[in-house]
């Protein structure tokens, strides 16, 4: 299989790499973190100017018609830069849900604004009892004279505190964990009945807990039949997270290698000691194995067969989650005490890798799911 990038993809990669190198050094990132919004709004406008916010959307909605490979290129670069902006929540996850479930009128109304940088999205799905089961939805939606109203609570909504539109899962029929009866609803966070509490997460990003008490919602697609589209969007989002993790691991491995070459002990660089060289090689091996699985997930992200797609995604998430733990722990141990300080980048990479592992299921959870599916290959 040919894994070479096309000319357009190489241009995209060069543009994103140059933007991250110019605007996202570690010291710059610390300044963005200290801002009231926890990020730099000017960078979001820069993403829009480069066309990154409309990358996966059809041209009719102001996008560029990119696919999983283009998303992988961007997310890997963002992983290396440890970006703080809600690209994953808005473009990859929220945009992916709208592309798969929304009608033409809704896509015209929202995706163009996302591409222009004037609208941020957030997927409000996780509930206290649901763990990582996408079918476990206790929030309810019922139709009244004035339209649909929602009751329930959502937790750890990625970038939910800054979103201009919430995409909320709610049950219109059936028992709590039934696959049938789940709908997706667009909710204005400023509408009556919506309360949200924002907070920073361990990796420096943002999240929110959202309460819905009779909040009005607009159905996205057919109410009660949204789960297959949600699963497809989440699988593609996991593939993008795998690419981000590879970017973060690559940067962390290189940071550790540079440290081994410069830190001296007993009058010589510690990288000259064979035992530490072996550990550095193990880190590189883990990164390259993770890269291979991220490529596999990217290729399978839009597979027509949902079972085969899920096998590939669970396998990739399991492998990359384990690689992230190995690379992160080795980096901290090889750096020593400095690796855990807030003033040094290594610990920040490890925190982000840990949060990626937790998002939509840990490595152990995906390994168990893969086993239940009969393994990667039948």
Integer CA distances (angstroms), 353 to 34, 153, 161, 174, 253, in order: 21, 27, 22, 36, 13
Q: Report pLDDT for 62.
A: 82
Q: Report pLDDT for 197.
A: 97
Stretches where the chain sits below pLDDT 70 are 1-2, 378
Q: Report pLDDT for 162.
A: 92
Which part of the chain is CATH 1.10.540.10? 7-119
Return all residues near 270 (Cβ < 8 A) that are at least 6 apart: 260, 263, 264, 276
Q: Report pLDDT for 61.
A: 84
* CATH T-level fold of 7-119: Butyryl-Coa Dehydrogenase, subunit A; domain 1 (1.10.540)
Question: If you search the block for the tokens 């607009």, which residue do you land on?
Answer: 218
Q: Report pLDDT for 153.
A: 97
Which part of the chain is CATH 2.40.110.10? 122-224
In tens, the pLDDT along 116-134 reads 999 999 999 999 999 899 9
Residue 207 backbone phi and psi in degrees, to 5: -150, 175
The CATH homologous superfamily for domain 228-372 is Butyryl-CoA Dehydrogenase, subunit A, domain 3 (1.20.140.10)
Query: Model's pTM, two decimal places?
Result: 0.95
Integer CA distances (angstroms), 332 to 232, 250, 349, in order: 36, 15, 10
Q: Which residues are registered as beta bridge partners of 182?
A: 171, 225
In tens, the pLDDT along 223-248 reads 999 999 999 999 999 999 999 999 99
Q: Report pLDDT for 118.
A: 96
Q: Give the tokens for residue 115.
A: 């591409």
Which part of the chain is CATH 1.20.140.10? 228-372
Q: Give the tokens for residue 101.
A: 């479930």
Q: Which class does domain 122-224 fall in?
A: mainly beta
């Amino acid at each position: 299989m040919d894994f070479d990038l096309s000319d357009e993809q190489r241009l995209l990669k060069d543009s994103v790499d140059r933007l991250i190198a110019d605007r996202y050094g570690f010291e710059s990132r610390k300044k963005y973190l200290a801002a009231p919004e926890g990020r730099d709004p000017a960078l979001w406008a820069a993403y829009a100017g480069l066309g990154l916010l409309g990358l996966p959307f059809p041209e009719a909605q102001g996008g560029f018609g990119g696919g999983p490979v283009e998303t992988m290129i961007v997310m890997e670069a963002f992983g290396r830069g440890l970006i703080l902006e809600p690209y994953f929540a808005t473009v990859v996850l929220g945009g992916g849900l709208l592309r798969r479930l929304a009608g033409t009128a809704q896509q015209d109304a929202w995706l163009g604004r996302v591409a222009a940088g004037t609208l941020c999205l957030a997927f409000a799905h996780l509930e206290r009892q649901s763990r990582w089961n996408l079918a476990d939805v206790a929030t309810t939606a019922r139709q009244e004279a004035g339209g649909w109203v929602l009751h329930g609570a959502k937790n750890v909504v990625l970038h939910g505190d800054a979103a201009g539109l919430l995409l909320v899962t709610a049950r219109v029929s059936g028992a709590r964990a039934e696959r049938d009866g789940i709908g997706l609803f667009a909710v204005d966070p400023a509408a009556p009945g919506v309360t949200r509490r924002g907070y920073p997460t361990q990796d420096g990003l943002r999240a929110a807990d959202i309460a819905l008490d009779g909040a009005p919602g607009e159905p996205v697609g057919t109410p009660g039949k949204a789960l297959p589209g949600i699963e497809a969007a989440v699988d593609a989002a996991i593939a993008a997270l795998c690419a981000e993790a590879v970017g973060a691991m690559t940067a962390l491995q290189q940071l550790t290698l540079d440290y081994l070459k410069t830190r001296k002990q007993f009058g010589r660089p510690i990288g000259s000691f064979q035992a530490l060289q072996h550990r550095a090689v193990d880190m590189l091996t883990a990164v390259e194995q993770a890269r291979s699985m991220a490529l596999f997930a990217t290729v399978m992200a839009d597979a027509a067969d949902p079972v085969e797609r899920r096998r590939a995604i669970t396998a990739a998430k399991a492998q990359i989650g384990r690689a992230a733990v190995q690379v992160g722990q080795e980096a901290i141990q090889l750096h020593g005490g400095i690796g855990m300080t807030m003033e040094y980048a290594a610990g920040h990479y490890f925190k982000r890798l840990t949060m990626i592992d937790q998002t939509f299921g840990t490595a152990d959870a995906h390994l168990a799911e893969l086993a239940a599916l009969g393994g990667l290959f039948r």
